């Protein structure tokens, strides 16, 4: 009797611990600003479902071009809504499987705790180089450009700009000292490794067009259960709490 009880307990434990038999892999393209929160979400998703997530992070514009050229992504988390919408219209995204997962926040940041004192810092002579993401490939670069235009500083600051092809590269310019400050995503400054150190100016949301970030299920992932499950998971409370913790607004 005892042996049967032990055997039953071991069976139950093995059943609970084992991943689902139908576990799949999903390849996800993620805009650089959302890389950190998404990796946390992916960890929780894998734990909850048994599916496996492969993440590639970069600039939204670059991903759009890669997807048009046949890149094998299942899901695309963009830093804007325009490119996912275009992919849907062009037949590369699945119709009715696109939604806004976050609204981004732009921030002017420096590792120097004494450098940034609000938006007026941009008018000062306290820095030589200002890092921004390329507006042609990164929506946060567009927001940075619009902010400087609204402040009447775009033309005067052009000669001091250092442009990264993604927000990841832009942050790298600042951290390496190639630029003393720069426009990045608030989510990057809230990275646990940075912990909000340095100095920053959280750009008012009315200084630029909203950074509305959409995700879309791509045609390659339409028959992938893991891809559809991930899309659903992102709408849940667990994922939303992670997104909000990194400074994003939720629609």
pLDDT tens digits for range 114-134: 999 999 999 998 999 999 999
Q: What is the third-level CATH fold of 106-202?
A: D-Maltodextrin-Binding Protein; domain 2 (3.40.190)
CA separation for the pair 220, 94 (Å, rounded) = 9
Mean pLDDT over residues 138-151, rounded? 96
Which of 105, 56, 41 has the alpha carbon at shortest distance from 234?
Answer: 41
User: Among candidates 214, 239, 199, 251, which has minimal Cα distance to 38?
Assistant: 239
Average pLDDT over residues 185-203: 93
**Same fold? 2-104+211-245, 106-202:** yes
pLDDT more than 70, % of the chain: 91
What pLDDT, on the 0 to 100 scale, is given for residue 4? Answer: 44
Give the residue-averaged pLDDT of 79-93: 97
Task: Report which DSSP code applies to 111.
Answer: S
Q: Which is nearest to 120 in space by CA: 203, 191, 232, 176?
A: 203
Domains of the chain, by residue range, sit at: 2-104+211-245, 106-202
Which residues does residue 29 pair with via DSSP β-bridges, in sequence order?
56, 76
Work out the pLDDT band at 22, boundaries 50, 70, 90.
low
- Given pLDDT bands bounded at 50, 70 and 90, which one contains residue 5? very low
Under CATH, what is the fold of the domain 2-104+211-245? D-Maltodextrin-Binding Protein; domain 2 (3.40.190)
Q: 235: burial class by Cβ within 10 Å (0-12, 13-18, 19+)?
A: exposed
Q: pTM higher than 0.75 for the full model?
A: yes
- Return the pLDDT at 17: 41
Q: Is residue 23 very low, low, confident or very high in pLDDT (cuts 50, 70, 90)? A: confident
DSSP secondary structure, 123-143, as one string? GSSS-S-EEEE-TTT-HHHHH
Helix extents (H) in 69-224: 82-89, 139-150, 154-157, 167-176, 186-189
* CA–CA dist 218, 91 (Å, integer): 9
pLDDT tens readout for residues 93-119 = 999 999 999 999 999 999 999 999 999
């Amino acid at each position: 009797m005892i042996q049967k009880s032990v055997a039953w307990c071991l069976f139950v434990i093995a059943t609970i611990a084992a991943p689902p038999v139908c576990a799949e892999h999903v390849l996800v393209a993620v805009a650089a600003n959302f890389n950190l929160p998404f990796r946390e979400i992916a960890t929780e998703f894998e734990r909850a479902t048994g599916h496996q997530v492969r993440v590639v992070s970069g600039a939204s514009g670059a991903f759009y071009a890669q997807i048009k050229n046949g890149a094998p992504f299942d899901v695309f988390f963009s830093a804007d809504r325009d490119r996912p919408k275009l992919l849907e219209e062009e037949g590369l995204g699945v119709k009715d499987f696109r939604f806004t997962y976050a609204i981004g926040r732009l921030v002017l940041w420096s590792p120097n705790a004494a450098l940034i004192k609000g938006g007026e810092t941009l008018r000062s002579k306290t820095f030589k180089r200002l890092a921004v993401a390329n507006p042609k490939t990164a929506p946060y670069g567009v927001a940075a450009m619009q902010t400087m235009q609204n402040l009447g500083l775009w033309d005067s600051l052009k000669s001091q700009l250092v442009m990264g092809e993604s927000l990841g590269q832009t942050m790298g310019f600042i951290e390496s000292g190639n630029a003393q400050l720069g426009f990045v995503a608030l989510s990057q400054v809230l990275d646990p490794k940075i912990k909000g150190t340095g100095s920053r100016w959280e750009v008012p949301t009315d200084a630029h067009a909203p950074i509305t970030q959409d995700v879309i299920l791509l045609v390659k992932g339409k028959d992938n259960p893991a891809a559809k499950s991930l899309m659903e998971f992102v709408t849940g409370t667990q994922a939303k709490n992670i997104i909000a913790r990194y400074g994003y607004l939720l629609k």
